[in-house]
Copies of this chain bind each other. A is one copy, B any other.
Amino acid sequence: MTRREELAEGATDYALEHGLVGLSLRPLAESLGTSDRMLLYHFRDKDDLVTTILRTSNARSMRDIRALPPSTDVRTAVLDLWRTVSRGDQQRCQRLYVEAAALGLFGREPYATEVREANTSWMAALADHLVGAGMARRDSRRAANLLDATFVGLQMDFPLESPARQRRTVEDLADAVAARWGQPGSP
């Protein structure tokens, strides 16, 4: 592993821990046992570093979701997906995503296309898991969109709300999705 890759991994850990908004080169470098000078030696500029962090974090996230074993039915699949997505690591990755959006990065290159691709493969992973649980292929795309949106919203809204309400909302979502797309061939 090259020095640049080492630094990228460490910087990603740091960003997942401390967030992306106030990210500053000097404290980050110190935590990595190097200097801001060296960060800007291995990465063209801060933008290059942040892009790399986002890419690294997203790669980890995809690995996690793909590692999820198949679910027995659609309702269970939704609950399993949520359990995976709301785990600590994934949650922090999601937070990075939100912060990047808040920073307005997604409107500018090279973030825009990067994120678009990441989102596409993420949606495909969700859809694949639903198909593995018995959902029709053609339904799984739409269901994945709904699931993803709701998951994102849940993680935004409820960090300080009651976990019980959060759980109930997820169950309602699972029921609704299962009712609508549970058996292949349903309307």
Point out residues on A near B: beta carbons under 8 Å: 19-21, 95, 98-99, 101-104, 106-107, 112, 115-116, 119, 142-143, 145-146, 148-154, 156-161, 165, 168-169, 172-173, 175-177, 179-180
Contact = CB atoms under 8 A, between A and B. Distances in A.
A163 B187 CA distance: 23
Q: What DSSP secondary structure best describes chain A's contact surface?
A: helix
Contact of A176 (B145, B161, B165, B180): B180
A187 to B, nearest CB: 10
Given A21-B102, A99-B102, A149 B146 contact: no
B149 A157 contact: yes
A-B pairs with lowest CB-CB distance, top 8: A153-B153, A149-B153, A102-B102, A152-B153, A176-B176, A99-B102, A145-B169, A150-B150
Question: Which of A101, A146, A148, A153 has the most chain B CB within a 10 Å cutoff?
Answer: A153
Given A150-B150, A153-B153, A172-B180, 19 more contacts: A19-B104, A20-B102, A21-B21, A98-B102, A98-B156, A99-B102, A106-B160, A119-B157, A119-B161, A142-B168, A145-B165, A145-B172, A146-B176, A149-B154, A152-B156, A153-B154, A156-B156, A176-B176, A176-B177
A175 B180 contact: yes
A145 B167 CA distance: 11
